[in-house]
Amino acid sequence: MSLSSRLRRALPRPTRRRVVSGSVVLVLVAALVGWAVWPDRPGWTSADEQITVKTGPAGAESVDLDARLYLPRDRSGKVPAVLLAHGFGGTKDSVSDNAEELADRGYAVLTWTAQGFGRSGGQIHLDSPDYEVRDAQGLLDWLAARPEIQLDATGDPRVAVVGGSYGGALALLLAGQDARVDTIVPSITWNDLTKVFLQQSADTTATGVFKKGWAGLYFGNGAASLLPDQPVQKNEDPACGRFAADVCAAYLSLATTGTADQATLDLLRKSSPATVLSKIKAPTLLIQGEVDTLFPLSEADANAKGIAATGTPVRVAWFTGGHDGGAGPQTDQDRVKYLTVQWLDHYLKGEGDAPSDSFTYSRVAGFSALDRGLVTNGYSTEAYPSLSGTGSTQVSLEGSAQPIANPPNGNPAALSSLPGTGGRLSELLGGVAADIPGQYATFESTPVTGAIEVAGAPSIQLRAASPTGEATVFVKLYDVDESGAETLSAGLVAPVRLTGLPTSIEQAQPVTVTLPAIVRRIDSGHTVRIVVATSDQAFLTPAKPVTYTVAAGSTLTLPTVVGTPIANPQTVWRWVLGGLLVVIALGLAVVLLVRRGLRRRRHDEVIEEYAETPLVVRELRKAYADGFVAVEEVSFTVQRGQVVGLLGPNGAGKTTTLRVLMGLTMPTGGDALVFGHRLMPGAPILSRVGALVEGPGFLPHLSGYENLRAYWRASGRPEADAHFDEALRIAGLGDSVHRKTKKYSHGMRQRLAIAQAMLGLPELLVLDEPTDGLDPPQIAEMRRVLKRYATDGRAVLVSSHLLAEVEQTCTHAVVVNKGRIVASGPVDDIVGESPSVQIEVSDVPAASAVLASLGVKSVLPDGPSGLIVDMNGTPRSEVVASLVRAGVDVDRVVPRRRLEDAFLALVGDNSRGSGDR
């Protein structure tokens, strides 16, 4: 049985554990004898080659390519080959790890540095069929002449082409140009460069908006001069570097004017797989990233449709990585590798069953230090649903037509993404997006009543008017949680260029805007916000200032997919059996670990109903031997994305509850579940929890930084997973972090303790009085940190006496008195409705004038920047929108009735007076 067959049998059932029988142990121990004398050497050999190929439109030119051939060491007879291509700016060394893994599996692998890069000759032609694709055909000829390579016919090697980005497009173009290619696996690549760099998201014939950020990174002088291992070329144009003259001229023209002439369009189109999809007969596995502002999911969708139309087998997989998010979490990397191996084994080696037509994708589910930060859940459907999903949800939007200003020369411009980092940065930090006041309009839904599993490209109708007859706008979809924190998924935006517009919005005709495809769960209680902006740093916008008027349709369509959860395959790529035998070599230690695991198995059982819920507390009770009952009966739930405040007077049972949750003490009744696992002292699930309970404790002779490092080393987890830089930024200790903690003030120790709790970005954060000892600016910063921390699947439970801070920070609250819950739910519900609100603004007189025109009942001053407003039934959103349109910055809007009022009404002055136990 092949390794891939063993993986197929093992991977779908990761949770099924069986006790290894004595006979199997004997077999493994016997095999250990062979392992002891097994040579410590890789399963492959490699040799560098310089391969000269014919290139150019007529094949009249020659170019030397720097190449490397990997061969499996223990092979019997000839073997199939894989042509492994690198990404833009890379070399043959960029893909060496993948080459070694494939060679270890019995494939011959040829890697090379594309012309114009590294030590290869030639110039960069952007995967031109006349150059880079013709070069690859020369490599096929070279493989066919090697005695180690399996042939389908004379001059026809048994070969697959695998590559990502620049290499992925090469795989598609080569398969469309040379029938000798047997199968391909392109990933994170493009379909049509004219649409990539002139992106248009509306159903209009107008040309698209120039994607200057990515184009500049790839084609500008910076990209040309920063290519790795670049040799000096004679007579090299400093404006072009190693780019071919026509490519350089196309970029310079586009970057200057923002529009493409016919020559530029023809050049970009020539290097686009869209031109050859109908000719591809090689079975194709398309892998595309969900965090990719360069080549979004729509590019793979177009490739899949074009290839499938000819009857060629096609399979599509999405993963939570891409040009903005790297390779994605390890679980996703394993899934992608498994799919690739399964595909190659069947279509190249002829082993294993044909891969199914199922579509697999994944979604970020949270954070875990043990899983290298991000945790993903994988899903599958029977067939690829395209970008329209298997269903859809209609979300109603509110908002009238609004004027928005286009800034001169696109400055200042909104920030949605940073090429190469923006998408993942957006996910980690709760969104890097920064819209410029006056340059955007908003249209928002009411809170959704149930979770929406978005998987595909949302769509909305848009109307616009412009005095110039043209408008360039950028449409974005934000997921806004209960606290108001907004996240722009993967930094993706929809650029729209409209022409032939009227000057009046009443005369404007609707156009359908298709937003970039995303995979995101919009949780119940969240709102969906559509922003239409006039500028974006990633794109080139009109230079002349002008004011547009925009209006959005009342309905947003969200495509949905309800997939079947799949296991995250933990594929082991090197010496799977050898690694197992090394473990067996531990002998008695393994036996002891197995016995220990069996003893703890009942504690590791997961209650599936709560497997995705950060915290569930069920009828918790804690009584002491002296008869004192600290917690009578407490039940509550903390969901992903929530910041929950645990409130109560001294002695109410708050700290005791937190001690039970952290496994520091055992309850006398009820239980607490973290992601479905029952808590007990030392429970493994506690590795997914960060906590500060009952004050910090540090080694006084070590500095703050040394204390953090010592704590993390004791956890046994890789240092790279600690996120020290972010923790130290949160601590805000500056150079004091290198002082011994015995010299720290109480506030400094508190800040260091908070940073320690956040090491590893745990999925659940439990904090007891985190603002104790902090000054007002630090408290305000902690407020922002906790809101941001709860985004994208994480959750926070915080106990605090500062009710004003809880009101501004927490989405939900649990009020405890005398060991029982007296109220729980969203903070707004506990506070209750109030006819008055407190507003903090930048210009009190201007705000007063605007509010008076709205017909509110009364406006009273409240400090230097505050107003107390009796709304008289006017919606709060209308008040805020009117102020912003008038140029008044609104810093804060809260109900006049405060959480403190509600708290006192619930618990009065009742207190046990003995402190919390």
Dist CA 719 CA 314 (whole Å): 41
Flag whether pLDDT at 453 surpasses 90. Answer: yes
510/755: higher pLDDT:
510
Q: Name 874's Cβ contacts closer than 8 Å, sequence gap at least 6.
A: 854, 855, 856
Do 44-192+275-384 and 833-896 fold alike per CATH? no
Whether the per-residue pLDDT at 912 is higher than 50: the answer is no
Rounded Cα–Cα distance for residues 732 and 735 (Å)? 9
Both structure tokens of 379: 């899903």
**376-435 confidence digits (pLDDT tens):** 788 999 999 999 999 999 999 999 999 999 999 999 999 888 776 544 444 444 444 578
Helices 746-758 & 724-731, crossing angle to 10 degrees? 150
Range scoring the smallest mean pLDDT among 27-36, 191-200, 453-462, 479-488: 27-36
pLDDT of residue 901: 60
Give me the mean pLDDT over the 108-130 stretch: 95
Label residue 909 by pLDDT band (50, 70, 90).
low
Q: What is the mean pLDDT of residues 135-160?
A: 97
Identify the helix (H) or strand (E) that includes residue 248.
helix 245-257
Task: Give the residue carrying structure tokens 């159903």.
Answer: 203
Q: Annotate 429-477 with DSSP letters as a single string.
A: TT---BPPTTSEEEEEPPPPSS-EEEEE--EEEEEEE-TTS-EEEEEEE
162, pLDDT greater than 90: yes
Whose tokens are 């531990």? That residue is: 586
Residue 872 CB: number of other CB atoms within 10 A?
12
Percent of the chain with pLDDT over 90: 43
Show me where the domains of the chain are located: 3-40+581-599, 44-192+275-384, 195-270, 391-564, 606-828, 833-896
- CB-hemisphere CA count at 13 Å for 150? 22
pLDDT digits (tens, 9 = 90+) for 471-484: 999 999 999 988 88
Helix axes 746-758, 704-715, angle to 10 degrees: 30
Q: What is the DSSP letter of 740?
A: B
Who has greater pLDDT, 881 or 164? 164
> What architecture does CATH give domain 44-192+275-384?
3-Layer(aba) Sandwich (3.40)
Transcribe 577-613 into DSSP letters.
Answer: HHHHHHHHTTTHHHHHHHHHHHHTHHHH-B-GGGTT-
- CA pair distance 248, 157, nearest whole angstrom: 35
Q: Check residue 786 and give its pLDDT.
A: 80
Q: Do residues 655 and 664 make contact, with C-beta atoms less than 8 angstroms apart?
A: no
What's the confidence (pLDDT) of residue 14? 31
Tokens of 771: 């603002």
> For residue range 744-775, what is the model confidence (pLDDT) as tens digits?
877 788 888 888 888 888 888 888 888 776 77
Task: Report the alpha-carbon distance of residue 705 to residue 740 in Å, rounded.
Answer: 9
Of 336, 292, 290, 334, residue with least CA distance to 315:
336
pLDDT interval class at 865 (50, 70, 90): confident
For residue 815, list its beta bridge partners.
Answer: 647, 823
pLDDT for 371 equals 40
- Summarize pLDDT for 78-90 with one digit per residue, the tens: 999 999 999 998 8
Residue 763 near residue 730, CB atoms below 8 Å: no
For the cut 70, the answer to whether the pLDDT of residue 211 exceeds it is: yes
Instruction: Report how far residue 176's alpha carbon sits from residue 191's, in angstroms, rounded to the nearest whole number.
Output: 13
Write down the pLDDT at residue 699.
79
Whether residue 546 has pLDDT greater than 50:
yes
**Can you tell me the distance from the alpha carbon of 380 to that of 583, in angstroms, rounded to the nearest whole number?**
33
Q: E strand or H helix at 199, and its extent?
A: strand 198-199
Q: How far apart are CA 389 and CA 385, in angstroms?
A: 5
In three-state secondary structure terms, 562 is: coil
The larger pLDDT score, comparing residue 733 to residue 601, is at: 733
In whole angstroms, give the CA distance from residue 44 to residue 99: 10
Taking each continuous run of H as one helix and of E as one strand, the counts in the chain are: 26, 41
| Contact of 159 with 80, CB cutoff 8 Å | yes
The DSSP call for residue 135 is: H
Angle of helix 876-885 versus helix 844-854 axis, rounded to 10: 130
Q: Comparing C-alpha atoms, which of 760, 774, 689 is closest to residue 731?
A: 774
Q: How far apart are CA 453 and CA 389, in angstroms?
A: 10
Burial class from Cβ neighbours inside 10 Å (0-12, 13-18, 19+) for residue 22 reads exposed
Rounded-to-integer distance, Cα 207 and Cα 214, Å: 18
Confidence of residue 896 (pLDDT cuts 50, 70, 90): low
Dist CA 627 CA 630 (whole Å): 9
Angle at 569 between CA 679 and CA 187, to 5 degrees: 130
Residue among 108, 116, 117 nearest 68 (CA): 108
Superfamily holding 606-828: P-loop containing nucleotide triphosphate hydrolases (3.40.50.300)
- Per-residue confidence (pLDDT) for residue 518, from 0 to 100: 95
- pLDDT computed for residue 830 by the predictor: 73
What is the per-residue pLDDT across 694-711, written as a single tens digit (0 to 9) for each?
666 787 778 888 888 888
pTM above 0.75, yes or no: no
- 3-state SS, residue 628: coil
Q: Give the pLDDT confidence score for residue 20 in this predicted structure.
A: 35
CA 569, CA 334: separation in Å to the nearest integer? 6
- CB-based contacts of 357: which residues, under 8 Å, 6+ apart? 315, 382, 383, 384
Cβ-contact 227, 218 below 8 angstroms: no
Cis peptide before 412 (omega within 30 of 0): yes
**Distances 372 to 688, 726, 807, 845, 900 between C-alpha atoms, Å:** 11, 15, 33, 52, 40
CATH 3.40.50.720 holds for 391-564: no
CA distances from 408 to 417, 540, 665 (A): 21, 11, 63
| pLDDT for 441 | 96
Residue 527 backbone dihedrals phi, psi, to 5 degrees: -115, 160
Question: What's the pLDDT at 38?
Answer: 38
The predicted pLDDT at position 229 comes to 46
Secondary structure letter of residue 36 according to DSSP: H
As a whole number, the mean pLDDT across the chain is 82
φ, ψ (nearest 5 deg) of residue 766: -115, 120
User: Token pair of 472, please?
Assistant: 């360039």
Query: In sequence order, which residues have a C-beta less than 8 Å from that of residue 774 and are 6 or more positions away?
Result: 747, 750, 751, 782
Return the structure tokens found at 522.
């919009």
pLDDT at 771: 78
Q: Which CATH number fits domain 833-896: 3.30.70.100, 3.40.50.300, 3.30.1740.10, 2.60.40.10?
A: 3.30.70.100
Across the range 192-200, mean pLDDT stands at: 94
What is residue 588's predicted lDDT score, i.e. its pLDDT?
Answer: 46
Q: What is the pLDDT of residue 681?
A: 64
What's the rounded Cα separation, in Å, for the pair 826 and 828?
5
Has residue 125 got a pLDDT over 70?
yes
In this predicted structure, which of 202-206, 345-349, 508-512 has the lowest mean pLDDT? 202-206
* CB-neighbour burial class of residue 53 (10 A; exposed 0-12, middle 13-18, buried 19+): buried
CB proximity list for 818: less than 8 A, separation 6 or greater: 632, 652, 653, 910, 912
Closest residue by Cα to residue 151 from 93, 82, 78: 78
Return the DSSP state at 293: S
What percent of the chain lies above the pLDDT cut of 70? Answer: 82
Handedness of CA 853, 854, 855, 858 (dihedral sign): negative
DSSP-assigned beta bridge partners for residue 745: none
